[in-house]
Amino acid sequence: MQVDAIYAICGFNDIPSRKAMGFHLMVLDHDGNHRPWSIVVVRWGKKVLGYLNRCPHNGVALDWERNEFLDPDGVRLMCGKHGSTFELGTGLCVDGPCKGRTLTPIALTVLDGDICVVGVRLVEDGASRNE
């Protein structure tokens, strides 16, 4: 398997505009070991953005309930544990304990109507897809 492979994780229309969805995937590291890889994908109109689902403050998952990632106004990502808020486009924390730090971005592309991750090697078994 090539590192630059493209993996479809969901259909573009599976995530409504102005919403976010979490995915629990498995990646293959350089030694061939499987490692959990939790990400959040945000769709904003025709744009998709992805980040590791891990708050830079203390490493907890951002969602406080399944697929609940956005602040009450629906315009920023928010850590459900400590309330830190992050700009959607940059992942920069603009308020909370990790202010000034950023979420780790995930490379995404839309191909043939699917949202795809690029730049990683995923374990390809349908059971690891979407929460």
pLDDT tens-digit map of 13-49: 999 999 999 999 999 888 888 999 999 999 999 999 9
Tokens (6 digits) for 118: 């690029």
pTM greater than the 0.75 cutoff: yes
Region 6-118: CATH code = 2.102.10.10
Give the pLDDT band of residue 56 (cuts 50, 70, 90).
very high
Residues 92-112: pLDDT tens digits?
A: 999 999 999 999 999 999 999
Q: What is the pLDDT of residue 25?
A: 95
10 Å CB burial of residue 78 (0-12, 13-18, 19+) is buried
